[in-house]
Each structure stands twice: as C-alpha cells, then as structure tokens.
A = this chain, B = another copy of it.
Amino acid sequence: MTDQRIPCAVLGATGNVGQRFIQLLERHPWFRPAELVASERSAGRPFREAATWRVDAEMPESVRDLTVRGYDDQLDSPVVFSALPGETAGEIEQRMAREGRAVLTNTSTHRADPDVPLMIAEVNPEHVAAIPIQQARRDWSGFIVANANCSAIHLTLALKPLHAAFGIDSVMVTTLQAISGAGYPGVPSMDIVDNVVPYIGNEEEKLETEPLKMLGQWRDGAFHDADFRLSTTCTRVAVRDGHTESVNIRLRMDASPSDVADAMTRFQAAPQLLELPSAPRRPIVVRNEVNRPQPLLDRETERGMASVVGRIRPCPLMGVKFVVLGHNTIRGAAGASILNAELLKAQDLLPS
C-alpha cells in the first residue's frame, strides 16, 4: 500500500526545529516528511549521517536514508515547512512560493510583510485572505504563511479570548524562556548553568509587535494592527523546553479573574471545530493550583499544543495578571506551522 500522504519538504531539517518538524510529520495522518533540505555541509549525504538526532532517542526509520537536499535543489513537495536560519530564509522561501508551493515558515524573515499572514490557527485564520493578494502582487503561484515567535504564539493564544471578550488596553510581560528556543548549539552551558540571562537578542521587539498583527484585522487589502500596547522583558533560564511568561494586562471592560479564566477555558476555534489532527482539544488549559503552570509538568499538555495558564489573579496596577506557559518548539514553532497547514488543507488552500 502506498503512502497517500502529501509529501512535504522540511527546510533546515538538521536543526532543532527541523527535527521537531520531522518528528511531528512522521506520524502525521495527512503529511509526510519527503524531502529534507539543509545547508551545503549536509547536502548530498544521507540524513542519518548529516544530522545528529536530538529530539528523542532514535531518528525515525523513514528519514534515515533520505538524501539531504541542498538549498538550490529542485524539490517535488507541494508543501514546504521552513525552519531556516533567518539570514538565509528570505530568498529560498520566496523561490519556493514562486514555484507554486505552500511555504509554512517558522522563520522571522517574512513575518512583518504586509501581504504575508502571520497566523495562529485558532487566533486569526481569517488572515488567509491575504494569500491571493500576496500571490497577485508578487506573481507567485504558491505562497508564504508565517507563524510567530515562540513567546508571541503562547502570549497571543492566551490573549485572544480576552481581546474578543473584553478588549485589551495594554499588556506587560516578563518571559523566562527555555534554552531550546535558541536552537543548537545555541546557548553555551557556561552561560546558563546556575544563571539567568536577562536578554535575548531581538526577542522583545518581536514580542511587542507580532501579537498586534495577529490580533489585528485584514481589511481593505491590508493588515491593521490591534490597538493596544505591549511592554516586554525577555530572559533565558536553565529550562530545556517551555517558555514561562508573567503577564499583567489592562482590559478595556471590567473582568474579574474568574471571568478571565472562563473566557480562556471556553475558548474554541476553527481547529477544534474542524478537529484538525494537531489541534489541541483545549487550546488554553487553565490550572488552579497555586504553583502552576510549570515547564516541567505542563509543557507536554495536549501533546505540547496547548498554552497553559495559571495564577490568574487581580493586578493592583493593571487589573489582571497571570502566568502562561507553552512548549516552545511544538506549539511555539513546528507544531504551529503544521496546524496552519492543516487549516489550509481543510479549506482546500494547499497546492497538490
């Protein structure tokens, strides 16, 4: 019996997020990892030799013998998942889109483009309306859909039902981010064992802008940012996976902590209604224990696809505060791109 699943390419397949893409696609009911693309150093070699598998004990059998493709190789896959480093992503992803492929990218390069949806499947699925404009403007038969920075995804998921129900005036965030967010080799152990690094390059800029695009509107052929302000401080801590975010929020309408908890708990969106394969049953899980969420205990919630919120309580300054946590390389990266692809497929928007 042949594999009927849609063949997909993974760009940047040897890295942390690339491996996560492969791991998640390997057992995916709709997609399969068919072409693995990496830099010149790896191209031409079997994947088992080109990559050191790090996301779990064993590289999946199905990709061990795939020959790694180079960035310039012609691909066959109609769907492309990208985990390319920022500096090389732009041109390659654009070429893939020009060639008619759907490019679901985790890279920051096109996130702010005025015709590229920056999408969380539960938050702003209507932004796919930008795709035809993107294709028309750029004369592409394919397209690019980006997902946001890992911290921005979990923050935005948590904000979405509050934005919808109460309106958001302003948001203050301090993050405690996991080391896997920096890729591999990423953070040197000398920098983080018995330490905190209170700065992550470009992270605060992303976290202060991306939620506004995602919670904004596509209207009259353009994205209109949501109308609130963010202030963020991003730090790195000695945690393997799972970003923790301390959030204070001022809402436009009165809302008690229990109103906030209710809105989050009840939140359901297209991926849940469509029962997409990667969709978490509960996109936001609210915990009531006083000391949760914790990365160790909660990052795998809903197979790493949920944002877990706890400590919802009054903020003397802004009204409400809470802590949100989520898996940064699953829902915060590879899983988010795959869920976006599922949503596109359910809408018949994927090339084949």
Contact = CB atoms under 8 A, between A and B. Distances in A.
Interface stretch (A86-94, A134-142, A231-239): A231-239
Nearest to A296: B195
Interface in A278-332: 290-298, 300-301, 310-311, 315-318, 321, 323, 325
B239 A195 contact: yes
Contacts of A294: 195-198
Interface stretch (A67-75, A155-163, A179-187): A179-187
A244 B248 contact: no
A57 B297 contact: yes
A56 interface: yes
B297 A54 contact: yes
Given A176-B176, A198-B292, A323-B198, A231 B248 contact: yes
B188 A187 contact: yes
A174 B174 CA distance: 7
A23 interface: no
A292 B58 CA distance: 12
A291 B193 contact: no
Nearest to A195: B296
A193 B196 contact: no
Nearest to A293: B198
A154 to B, nearest CB: 14
A224 B70 CA distance: 53
A5 to B, nearest CB: 26
Nearest to A243: B196
A233 B238 CA distance: 19
Given A196-B244, A291-B198, A301-B57, A188 B186 contact: yes
A201 to B, nearest CB: 8
Contact of A244 (B198, B316, B323): B198
Nearest to A208: B316
Contacts of A321: 231, 233
A233 B246 contact: yes
A290 B198 CA distance: 9
A199 interface: yes
Contacts of A230: 316-317
A191 interface: yes
A229 interface: yes
Given A189-B179, A292-B198, A297-B56, A229 B316 contact: yes
Report which residue of A170, A191, A195 has the largest number of chain B beta carbons within 10 angstroms of its beta carbon: A195
A274 interface: no
A194 interface: yes
Closest 3 CB pairs of A and B: A185-B188, A174-B174, A195-B296
16 contacts: A57-B297, A57-B300, A172-B318, A174-B246, A176-B196, A176-B237, A179-B190, A192-B193, A194-B239, A195-B295, A198-B292, A199-B311, A230-B316, A231-B248, A233-B248, A238-B238
